[in-house]
Amino acid sequence: MYIVYLRCQPIGIHLFRVEAELDTASVRERNPRGQGERLRAALIDAAIELLADLQNVEQLSIRAVTARAGVTPTALYLHFADKQALIDAVKERCFAELISYCSRAMVLDDARANLEAGCRAYIQFSDERPGYYRILFHTPHDPDCDPAETLEQAQKQWMPIAIEALGQLIRAVERCLPPGSDPVAPSLMIWAGLHGYIGLRRGIPDMPFASPDDYVSQLVDPYVPGSEAAA
């Protein structure tokens, strides 16, 4: 376009007009304060809505996310380097919400009661934020990888906020155990029990599963002493 324009107009006039157009475009494209953060949040919201209905993150497309957010695909790259960066931000949002749910519940002085409150909050999170909960377990893993021998080995590939979320459960279990006890194994058993309960209760809703309160009490019993454990 500008090549044709140069043939028709003196160079000096053309350069002046181009500079004026660039200055105007620069002013027009500058986001008001806070608008960039709102757009970033809107893109995360759109990705969460789409991922809640997909089977795994590989099916998520940049074009679908930006269409849901009402912006062009190029707008996403102003806030995220690539799709993986967006997915990481989505998972951070979901883990932060899970941690918040459990933190609000785990304020009791009694260690056993506090642990049970956190477990019930975990179930509540899956009920009230089902899309968020599914997203936390959407990332596919290599089926041929060797299982980690220690928690530290497993966590090398985890996001820091995911480690924080599991650490919340481990600390609650540790408070219930005798000094010097290893809380990792019972914590993983309790986590597995919660996840299985949530999945089966959702997948087979007509089965007479115990209520969350009753289930949590029975789940914790084999791994944690009674409520008189030291706080």
Same domain? For 132 and 210 the reply is yes
* pLDDT tens, position by position, 73-91: 999 999 999 999 999 999 9
CA 40 to chain centre: 15
Distance CA 83, CA 66 (A): 11
The rounded mean pLDDT for the chain is 82
pTM of the predicted protein model: 0.77
Same domain? For 113 and 70 the reply is no
> Between these two residues, 12 and 225, which has the higher pLDDT value?
225
Indicate the angle between helix axes 212-220 and 184-203, nearest 10 degrees. Answer: 150
In this structure, are residues 91 and 76 in contact, taking their beta carbons and an 8 Å threshold?
no
User: Residue 57 carries which DSSP code?
Assistant: G
Q: Is residue 157 part of a domain?
A: yes
Binned at pLDDT 50, 70 and 90, residue 230 comes out as very low
Distance CA 184, CA 189 (A): 9
Task: Kindly compute the dihedral angle of the four CA atoms of residues 179, 183, 187, 190, in this order, to the nearest 10 degrees.
Answer: -50
CA 69 to chain centre: 18
Same domain? For 70 and 119 the reply is no
In this structure, are residues 98 and 125 in contact, taking their beta carbons and an 8 Å threshold?
yes
Neighbouring CB atoms inside 10 A of 28's CB total 7
Using CA atoms, how far residue 192 sits from 5, 13, 121, 197, in Å, is 68, 72, 15, 9
* pLDDT tens, position by position, 181-206: 999 999 999 999 999 999 999 999 99
In this structure, are residues 116 and 216 in contact, taking their beta carbons and an 8 Å threshold?
yes
Boundary-marking domain end, from 11, 46, 80: 80
In this structure, are residues 194 and 123 in contact, taking their beta carbons and an 8 Å threshold?
yes
pLDDT given at position 144: 63
Q: Is residue 13 part of a domain?
A: no
* pLDDT tens, position by position, 48-66: 999 888 766 788 899 999 9
Same domain? For 103 and 63 the reply is no
Q: Is residue 2 part of a domain?
A: no
Distance CA 26, CA 30 (A): 6
**What's the CATH number where 56 sits?**
1.10.10.60
Q: Is residue 26 part of a domain?
A: no
Same domain? For 127 and 146 the reply is yes
In the numeric block, which tokens belong to residue 133? 């909960």
Count of structural domains, the chain:
2
Domain encompassing residue 138: 90-220
- Give the residue from 104, 230, 123, 102 showing the smallest Cα distance to 175: 230
Same domain? For 48 and 110 the reply is no
Angle at 143 between CA 140 and CA 145, to 5 degrees: 110
Backbone angles phi, psi at 104, to 5 degrees: -65, -30
Q: Is residue 3 part of a domain?
A: no
Distance CA 219, CA 179 (A): 22
